[in-house]
Amino acid sequence: MLFAFICRDKPDHLQVRMDTRPEHVDHLNALNAAGTLKFAGPFLGEDGKPLGSLVVVEAADKSAAQAIADADPYAKAGLFQSVEVLPWNWVFNNPASA
């Protein structure tokens, strides 16, 4: 099952994001190597600076997806104001459907 993480950064926490980015990238690379990560990237503000993240993972259930979200170094560093974990259906341009 796929789950989307809609993560919104706390205001004025860009430095936390930048300081934690190497560990976050390592975390995503590990998820990717395990076949868990489907895609990820930051939301950008009008100024082009990151202000949140979209991460889509495959997990057995919502509890497993929440554990993945909670393990993200950004979450552990207190970057996020909120994180929604939602079941998601990849309908268009899904490479698995090709």
Instruction: Name the domain count of the chain.
Output: 1
Question: How do beta strands 50-58 and 80-88 pair?
Answer: unpaired
pLDDT tens digit at each of 98 positions of the chain: 999 999 999 999 999 999 999 999 999 999 999 999 999 999 999 999 999 999 999 999 999 999 999 999 999 999 999 999 999 999 998 888 77
- Does any domain span residue 95? no
Residue 94 structure tokens: 């899904």
Please report the beta strands in the chain, taking only residues with DSSP state E, as ranges in sequence order.
Answer: 2-9, 37-44, 50-58, 80-88
What range does the domain containing 81 cover?
A: 2-90
- Does any domain span residue 76? yes
CATH code, domain with 15: 3.30.70.1060
- Does any domain span residue 33? yes
- Does any domain span residue 51? yes
Q: State if pTM tops 0.85.
A: yes
- Does any domain span residue 96? no
- Does any domain span residue 53? yes
